[in-house]
Amino acid sequence: MSQTIPEADYLVIGSGVAGLRAALELCRVGRVIVLTKGHPLQSNSIFAQGGVAVALSEEDDVAIHLTDTLKAGHGLCRREAVRVLVEEGPNRIQELIRWGARFDKMGGKFAFAREAAHSRSRILRARGDATGNEMVRALLAQVIRQKQIIRLDYHFTVDLVVEDGRCCGAVVLDENSGEQFILPAKAVLLSTGGAGQIFARTTNPPNATGDGMAMAFRAGAELQDMEFVQFHPTALYLPSSPPFLLSEAMRGEGGELRNNKGEAFMPRYHPRGVLAPRDIVARAIWTEMAATRARHVYLDVTHLESNFVKRRFPTIYATCLRHDIDITEEWIPVSPSAHYMMGGVLTDINGATTLPGLFAAGEVACSGVHGANRLASNSLLEGLVFGMRAGAAAITWASRCSVPDLSAHRERLKCRGAGRLDDAEKLRNSLRRAMWSQVGLVRSRESLARATAQLARWEQMVSQPFATRADLEVKNMVQVAHCVAEAALWRENSVGAHYRADYAKPQRPGWKLHSRLRLSEPVTDQPGAPKGEKVVSRRPRKTG
């Protein structure tokens, strides 16, 4: 297999919105290989329902979008990154429209919707609730036209290759043949998405296992703000089915949240009611569930006109109907689920990580644009804006480099054995349950200490090279989960999506610090387990 793959100037790992936009930038000057584990239409981007936030309407402007984003981030956003997002966003969306993306219109004009914590109607949507799908469709169509881009689907990236302190390639597993091989490159760009699967309840697809964060961490890159995990307030709750996201736009269109007594409870928790920021809504639901000893609350849209609901939320309507719930006539059982990682691989505003030659964009990255709590529908815009910027920065970096000779790494890979993990599925399930119960919506020193101790034991169990995607995913999940738990234990205050029951008072002293994790002795010459200790630093960073 490795003999038939052409040499690439750039590797893009992941094929959601950020990865595809980066590849389109990179292919202007060189050959690009886009690596995708599994099928290309299984990314988080594909499942993004609500829409993409952008200041394009007559009532909006970028300054208002910036203010809303900073406010949602609870004072921990990096202002410069937010400015880039909102100022460059309109151009990236117009570009996508020129490439064929079709957003919903009303009366010949774009139909902008409003979601929680937005002070203006600025959410563009496609086919009602299939915005991510439409954006990926348009980007993929553009990628297919580019002869300089080679797509390798069903190729799992095992680890990054580091030579002389520079990231210059990756170890790749062909999922069909089981062969592992090395791909060299002048620069590597991570766009692998998030890590929702480390929690028992998540809106993320099964492949969101934190691979990019784990491999970057093993290679020596720094991670930032890993304690900030956004829990979406409203995921469909059915005991026998995985959670399914019920878009925040349903509340934006007038949906109400009710407890099992039928009470509309959100006005008791926030002046904006159901349109309060996500972290507040999610914890309010959690509190109501605890008070009424219920496993869920209800989302009620039965008072909205039936045909409007079917037209506005066709995917949600059809999915719920398959579970024998007619949302136009019945309340929908919902509960919070892990949804989005605000933390990730630390980058500057151009996508450069702390490891030379490695760039990152999208949910895998932490540029500081989301702070402690992401503003709804900013993520798809982030993928476009920072995917393009990371690609441009990688081009500048690579202009000073050549494709490296990695023959020594190839020889080591041939000699390296790869084992099997005993009962990977059992470990995966145990990890997810532990994270949900101990590092979930409500945390404490006691629960986090238990979690970190258990995760340290599991990390020892996965400290060897593995041969299969299933085993490698579990390894990545354990390592990313350990980083989340350690950062959460370190942050002894409650802010944004991070809530400590033992430090419930907001903005306790030290709240403006950012957690950073790195390995004291990163692996640099062979794929495998981390060496050395995790270092949690307490460096303050300018936030605004």
Kindly write down the DSSP assignment for every residue of 452-499, as one continuous string. Answer: HHHHHHHHHHT-S-BSSHHHHHHHHHHHHHHHHHHHHHH--SBBTTB-
Beta-strand relationship, 166-174 and 155-163: antiparallel
Entry pTM: 0.91
* CA separation for the pair 486, 235 (Å, rounded): 27
Q: Which of 367, 276, 315, 242 is nearest to 50 (CA)?
A: 315
Residue type, 64: I
Residue type, 350: N
Number of Cβ atoms within 10 Å of the Cβ of 307: 9
Question: Would you name the residues annotated as active-site residues?
Answer: 278
3-state secondary structure of 143: helix
Domains assigned to the chain: 231-338 (3.90.700.10), 418-537 (1.20.58.100)
pLDDT in tens, the chain (544 residues): 444 666 899 999 999 999 999 999 999 999 999 999 998 766 655 555 568 999 999 899 999 999 999 999 999 999 999 999 999 999 999 999 999 999 999 888 999 988 878 999 999 999 877 888 899 999 999 999 999 999 999 999 999 999 999 999 999 999 999 999 999 999 999 999 999 999 999 999 999 999 999 999 999 999 999 999 999 999 999 987 888 889 888 998 999 999 999 999 999 999 999 988 888 899 999 999 999 999 999 999 999 999 999 998 998 999 999 999 999 999 999 999 999 999 999 999 999 999 999 999 999 999 999 999 999 899 999 999 999 999 999 999 999 988 888 988 888 888 787 788 889 999 999 999 999 999 999 999 999 999 999 999 999 999 889 999 999 999 999 999 999 999 999 999 999 999 999 998 877 788 899 999 998 765 444 444 444 455 665 443 434 4
DSSP-H helix ranges across 202-356: 211-219, 249-252, 278-292, 306-312, 314-322
